[in-house]
Every structure is written in C-alpha cells, then in structure tokens.
C-alpha cells in the first residue's frame, strides 16, 4: 500500500471533515491529492505504517513524501499543496505548533456537536471516486 500522491486521511463520519474533503477536491486543480477515511482498511494501514494510533479520529492526517503530518500542521500542508492564494494561509506555520494545535483540538473535540455526524461513511461521487483509496 503505497501512494506517490499526497494523501489526506479523514474521519469518514464527520460532517466538518466531509466539507473539508470537498473543499480540497474543489481547490486541488491538478487533482493530485488522494483521500481515505481513517476508519477504512486503507486508512488503518496507512496509520499503522506511520506509527499513528488507529483509533484516533480527532485529527486528519496528511501524508506527503513518506512523512505523516497531523492536526494543524496537516491542515497547513494541505493549504500549501493546493497552492495559489491558499499558500498564503500556510504562513500560519510560524505560529507555534502548541498554539495552533490547541485551537485545532478545541474544534476537533466538538466537531460532532457543532457540525453533526453521519451514521456511515458516504461513498464518493463517481466524478471523484478515483481519488479515494481503498
């Protein structure tokens, strides 16, 4: 299970995460970022490969060049990969990681309450299905 493309692992039942994935798909004009839910067999294998907990669904993971990034760093790496004007927001990497992650985790812990939760992970639309792993 290797992917040469940058890959986002996300909570497949989280409405906020679903909106984030749709945002990335819409703005990734070169369609280079792939996706897998954290709960999927593919997501679980990638978490294990990178030494990350397989039951922690409070973060999404960004894997690029064989390295896994989590929490706010993952979000900033995604913005940087999208390029264009989104790259400007990646300047937040200069904010100390502890501060960024505190804000990230505050939202992550409340995401179901604030944005809702699906009963099951939805299948991707046929037009983007090839971008989803496993």
Q: pLDDT tens for residues 3-12?
A: 689 999 999 9
Q: pLDDT tens for residues 46-65?
A: 999 999 999 988 888 999 99
pLDDT for 3:
63
- Residues 50/63, Cβ–Cβ less than 8 Å: yes
Q: pLDDT tens for residues 75-127?
A: 999 999 998 888 888 788 889 999 999 999 999 999 999 999 988 777 777 78
Least confident of 41-45, 65-69, 82-86: 82-86
pLDDT for 90:
78
Residue 97 has, within 13 A of its CA and on its CB side, a CA count of 6
- Number of CB atoms found within 10 A of residue 18's CB: 19
User: What are the distances in angstroms from CA 2 to CA 14, 38, 129?
Assistant: 25, 16, 18
Instruction: Tell me the whole-structure pTM to 2 decimals.
Output: 0.90
Backbone angles phi, psi at 128, to 5 degrees: -125, 5
User: Mind spelling out the 3-state secondary structure of 83-133?
Assistant: CCCHHHHHHHHHCCHHHHHHHHHHHHHHHHHHHCECCCCCCCCCCCHHHEC
């Amino acid at each position: 299970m290797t992917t040469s493309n940058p890959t986002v692992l996300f909570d497949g039942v989280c409405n906020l995460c679903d909106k984030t994935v749709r945002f990335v798909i819409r703005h990734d004009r070169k369609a280079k970022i792939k996706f897998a839910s954290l709960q999927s067999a593919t997501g679980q294998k990638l978490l294990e490969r990178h030494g990350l907990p397989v039951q922690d669904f409070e973060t999404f993971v960004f894997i690029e060049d064989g390295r896994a990034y989590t929490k706010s760093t993952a979000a900033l790496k995604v913005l940087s990969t999208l390029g264009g004007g989104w790259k400007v927001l990646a300047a937040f990497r200069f904010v100390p990681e502890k501060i960024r992650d505190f804000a990230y985790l505050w939202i992550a812990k409340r995401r179901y309450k604030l944005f809702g939760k699906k009963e099951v992970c939805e299948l991707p639309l046929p037009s983007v299905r090839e971008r989803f792993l496993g």
